[in-house]
Amino acid sequence: MRKVSLIRERFFSGYRLDKKINEYVVLDLIRKKGPISIPDIVRITNLSRPTIDSFISHLQRRDFIKIEGLGSSRGGRKSNLWKLNNKAGYIVGIDMESPHLTILLTDLELNVIGTSKTTFSLSAKKEKILDLLKIKNREIFTKSGISQTKLVGIGIGVPGLIDKSRGTSVSIERIPDWRDVPLVQILKEEFKVSVFLENDVTLMSIAEKTLNKEIRNKENMIYIGFRTGIGGGIFINGKLFNGVYGNAGFIGHTTVEKEGPRCRCGNKGCLELFADEPAIINKAKEGIKRGTKTNISQLAAKKADVITIKIILQAATEGDAFARSILREAAEYLGLGIANVVDLLDIPLVIMGGSITKAGELFLEWVREASRKRLTSVYRDNLDLRYAKIDQNAAALGGAICVLQDIFKEPAILIE
């Protein structure tokens, strides 16, 4: 250790990298374990009491931490308990699932301070959509009574292809003129903070992995998200796998019928044409139009509602043969897609999130059966397929988590 120290001092005289790292360790410990006393910080980190006292003073002056009561006495005066000052900064998480726009304002503990939900016309030009995004982002601070100067970062999720290295939303299939939009640069220039861009379903997977206590410590996971299409998120050895451009997990655009119908992506026979929520609902509508005997339309009429996945499921659970056949067929295709990705990645934990969770346990069991039929034996016996637990505002929450993870990421030497 002495030798390393001498080398450091020779080449980086006066620069204490270890001090910066240790201060990060203390702040992150307070964030994760707080409220916590200084004696406990000393015990856990093995740093000296004077060093910890110095860090605590520095972090308190910068308003990063605050006192949260007193600890129990150990024979002398009770120690102050320290915790992260969750109001030291605020984060914006954005979900741009066209035509819906959801913006969350959170503190540093992911408590939601404000929510904005709006819709825009799919015929709107990209400039109008970008203006709406900026306006709603400012509005959420005004309505919450928080100064925009306390914004520390923005995490945004978009459907379609992205190029993370360029901070670009390459395309959104439902917005015709949305091509190569430099979203990170636009928001960075407007709000003067760091901006993190991901696919919207990737953000849903981040929220699930972070907030669902049942899977938080699972190292490897496949997440399949159902929205206007089907996307995914992949975790390998505890870390999100992005791929080269940031689009890993596009399971909805894997081919399951080589001569199938044309997809909006330009390919033929994509999985989402057979297995996502719109595909299931369209099958029901087509059958009703052809005069197929079913209770689906009557159930929808009783609830003064359009046909939904929940209504189709209700009909299926009541024994409606047509409803069961539609869901069975979608489950078969999903099983095929899931088996392919599980066999490819050697990951038997699969979480299905988004709108498909409304299809209920019956549908989930059918997907399990269909998946196991196609899996090789080791995965067939160990497949863990379940619904997501984080549902409401999952993508926007995932955006906030991206910012939070960057704030508290472990120090590293950056090479440009």
Q: Which of 84, 102, 131 is the last residue of a domain?
A: 84
Judge if 147 and 55 occupy the same domain.
no
Choose the final residue of a domain: 84, 99, 134.
Answer: 84
75 in the same domain as 174: no
Run means of pLDDT, 10 residues per run, the chain, 416 residues: 43 60 89 92 92 93 91 76 94 94 96 95 91 96 94 95 95 90 97 96 97 95 92 95 92 92 89 91 92 90 79 90 94 95 96 89 94 92 95 95 89 54
Task: Assign residue 72 the CATH number of its domain.
Answer: 1.10.10.10
Does 354 fall in a domain?
yes
Length in residues, the chain:
416
What Cα–Cα distance (Å) separates residue 286 from each residue in 27, 56, 281, 292?
Answer: 58, 66, 9, 9
368 and 258 share one domain: yes
Q: Is residue 33 part of a domain?
A: yes
Residue-level pLDDT at 130: 96
Is residue 187 within a helix (H) or strand (E), and if so which, with residue range? helix 183-191
Same domain (yes/no): 68, 103? no
Same domain? 100 vs 186:
yes
221 part of a folded domain: yes
Residues 265 and 123 in one domain: no
Q: Tally the domains of the chain.
A: 3
pLDDT at 212: 96
Q: Are residues 163 and 63 in the same domain?
A: no
- Give SS3 for 312: helix
pTM comes to 0.89
Instruction: Mark whether 139 and 249 lie in a shared domain.
Output: no
CATH at residue 339: 3.30.420.40
182 found inside a domain? yes
Residue 183: exposure state from Cβ atoms within 10 A (0-12, 13-18, ≥19): buried
Indicate whether 58 and 125 sit together in one domain.
Answer: no
Q: What is the pLDDT of residue 12?
A: 46
* Residue 8, domain member (yes or no): no
pLDDT at residue 255 in the model? 93
CA angle 227, 403, 194 (to 5 degrees): 110
- Statement to judge: residues 115 and 196 lie in one domain: yes
| pLDDT for the residue 338 | 96
Containing structural domain, residue 200: 90-206+396-407
Same domain, 401 and 380: no
Number of Cβ atoms within 10 Å of the Cβ of 199: 27
The pLDDT of residue 413 is 54
3-class state of residue 21 by DSSP: helix
Q: Token pair for residue 213?
A: 């206590």
Whether residues 308 and 266 fall in one domain? yes
pLDDT the model gives residue 2: 38
Q: How far apart are CA 376 and CA 348, in angstroms?
A: 11
Does some domain include residue 80?
A: yes
